[in-house]
Chain A
Amino acid sequence: MTKLLEIREKVKEIYSRYETFFIPLVKFVLALVVFSRLNGALGYMARLDSTPLVLILSLMCSFLPTGCMVLFAAVISLLHMYALGWEVALVGLCLYVVMFLMFFRLSNREAALVLITPLLCAMKIPYIVPIAAGLLCAPTSFIPVACGLAVYYWFQVIGNSASTLGTMGDDALSRLRFIIDGLVQNKALIVVVAAFSITILVVYLIRRLSIDFAWTIAMVVGAIVNVFVLLIGDLKFDINISIWGALGGSLLALAVAKVIEFFRFCVDYSRTEQVQFEDDEYYYYVKAVPKMTVAAPEKTVKKINAKNLRTRERSPLEVFSGKTGSGSKTGRRGSRTMTIGSVGEAYEDSYDPYEEESYGETYGDEAYQDEYVSRRRDTYADESYGDETYDETYDELYDEDDYDEDGEE
């Protein structure tokens, strides 16, 4: 376990160090896969199915917000639909507009789910989506997931109807009716949307409970509920969902969810502390579960200098400025280790706390690591203002008695 935790710390460190490049890269790869799969699944407009165009669009998406990726994907799919028939494009446009106006605007933060859901459905691993969304996202994430499922089944309807539409002649109303029938009478869509939505809500509610192993219970119960609802839907509507596929997919989803849990919510329940205290107005019953953390192994290179007995490694900043550093502070907060090294008064002015660089400082026999700036994002990610964990660190750092409690200005 220690080795795994070390690897996790290493991965986090690498991620935070290269975050600037990593996020655009992930967006680029996602856009590339989405657009390629879209061209592969529809592909009725040959001009869109060109690698340079896909690459250019993916590059644009790598630095634009995720919503733009959704927009590009919608436009590409509509153009493909138009190539198949204007009736198909009209129904597709209406579907997209209604989804945007009614649902998507309520939960636009998880825009990527609209893309990832149909993508994973096409890759035959859709059962990861509801469990991962329940664990990581807000309960409203069932809306983009449902939209993504609607898009996936809409593409299936188009794919299944394409050959029939070609033989239907020029009767636009018949073609339109045929397409709408395919979408409205798709019972599988209703069952899968219901199963995924219920799963997301169940997983979210359980993982928020103050019980031991809440995340593990949430993912297991979520997987069972998902399969159960799919089974009922299959029996009721006879939609031919592969039960073995659902079971296998759910097991895979559990494995992925455990990996997510390891990176996001790795706590040691054996060291849980239940504390009770009071102030003038309230009694507090606090359950504190420590996180499992280990310090990432560091390599320290010592320079042996015959003239100076004290061995010291100079930071890049020092080398650049030609000044010497002194002193450091080490703070340990809860289970999180946060080490803040002061670089000394001599070059305090040149120190930019927001600069995304880190540097090691060895002074005498003690090694200090100033990784505060490079790790600030992952350290404080858990302490966001919407998260309850913030309070404990806040109270620990700042004695409440010292400050005015008025709150809002």
Chain B
Amino acid sequence: MLNEKRVILMTRLASYEEGEGRKNISIGNYFRGDYLTLQILKSIVCSTISFFIVFGMYILYNFETFMQDLYKMDLIAFAQSVLKYYCITVVAYAVIVYVVGTVRYVHAKKNLQRYYKNLKVLKSLYQSGESGEGEA
């Protein structure tokens, strides 16, 4: 006999697995610390590439000025200022990624808890169905 509750639950589970669940399951495979570390590492790589792209554009933009002042300017002070901006960019971006990652992880874990709970309910529905049929 078709079990209404079972069908509803299976549909809900399948819908979750097809959509958001896929991503949540991949997040759920990590411990919180590992997930956030990975995200921060990625963010450092991305922000470093982005910073050097922007820095390259800045150099190109001021290329003539640099060429003129290259022997006059304090290169160490210039390098220090570049490093300072680089650190600010990377740290600020890592903090944003950390916050976003934490929210995502908590959200994914919460959803996965419900998902696993529903799987358990589905299992119990199957078991009760089988025992009912066995008794009959």
A, B: real partners:
yes
- Interface stretch (choices B15-23, B30-38, B68-76, B78-86): B15-23
Shortest Cβ distance from B64 into A: residue: A173
Kindly state the separation between the CA atoms of A67 and B16 in the bound complex, as whole angstroms. Answer: 21
Measured CB to CB, the nearest residue on chain B to A391 is B114
Q: Which chain A residues lie closer than 8 Å to B21 at the CB level? A: 385
A351-B2 CB under 8 A given contacts A98-B54, A180-B61, A384-B16: yes
**A241: min CB distance to chain B, Å:** 28
At the interface, yes or no: A343 with Cβ under 8 Å from chain B?
yes
Kindly state the interface size class of chain A when it binds its partner: 35 or more
CB neighbours of A94 from chain B (8 A): 53-54, 56-57
Given the complex of chains A and B, what is the CA–CA distance between A403 and B2 in angstroms?
A: 21
B46 adjacent to A101 (CB under 8 Å): yes
Residues of chain A with a CB closer than 8 A to B113's CB: 407-408
Asked whether, in the complex, the Cβ of A390 is within 8 Å of the Cβ of B114, the reply is: yes
**Residues in A neighbouring B53, C-beta threshold 8 A:** 94, 97-98
B5 & A398 in contact (Cβ 8 Å cutoff): yes
In the complex, A329→B12 CA distance in Å? 19
Flag if A345 contacts B1 (CB, 8 Å): yes
- The size of the chain B interface, using a CB distance under 8 A, is 46
B49 at the interface (CB under 8 A from A): yes
The answer to whether the Cβ of B119 comes within 8 Å of any Cβ in the partner chain is yes
For window 368-384 of A, CB contacts with B under 8 Å fall at 372, 376-377, 380, 383-384
Q: Which of B4, B20, B115 has the most CB of A within 10 A?
A: B4
Q: Is the CB of B57 within 8 A of A180?
A: yes
Report the nearest B residue to A377, measured CB to CB.
B15
Given contacts A98-B50, A102-B47, A380-B11, contact A385 B5 (CB under 8 A): no
A195-B39 Cα distance, complex, nearest whole Å: 29
Candidates A340, A342, A353, A380; contact of B15 at CB < 8 Å: A380
Residues of B within 8 A of A383 (CB): 12
Which residue of chain A has the shortest Cβ distance to B114 in the bound complex?
A385
Contact assessment for B15 and A376 in the assembled complex, using a CB-CB cutoff below 8 Å: yes
Task: Give the docked Cα–Cα distance between A180 and B63 (Å).
Answer: 13
B4 touching A409, Cβ below 8 Å: no
- With A353-B10, A383-B12, A385-B21 as contacts: A406 and B100 at CB distance below 8 Å: no
* Distance A257 CA – B53 CA, assembled complex (angstroms): 39
Q: Is A52 an interface residue (CB 8 A)?
A: no
A44 to B57, CA, bound (A): 24
Listed by A's residue number, 5 A-B pairs whose Cβ atoms lie within 8 Å are A94-B54, A102-B47, A380-B11, A403-B121, A409-B119
Query: Which residues in B have some Cβ–Cβ distance to A below 8 Å?
Result: 1-2, 4-5, 7-12, 14-16, 19-21, 24, 46-47, 49-50, 53-54, 56-57, 60-61, 63-64, 93, 96-97, 100, 107, 111-121, 124
Known: A372-B7, A376-B11. 6 other contacts (CB 8 A): A176-B60, A176-B61, A354-B11, A394-B114, A397-B5, A406-B120
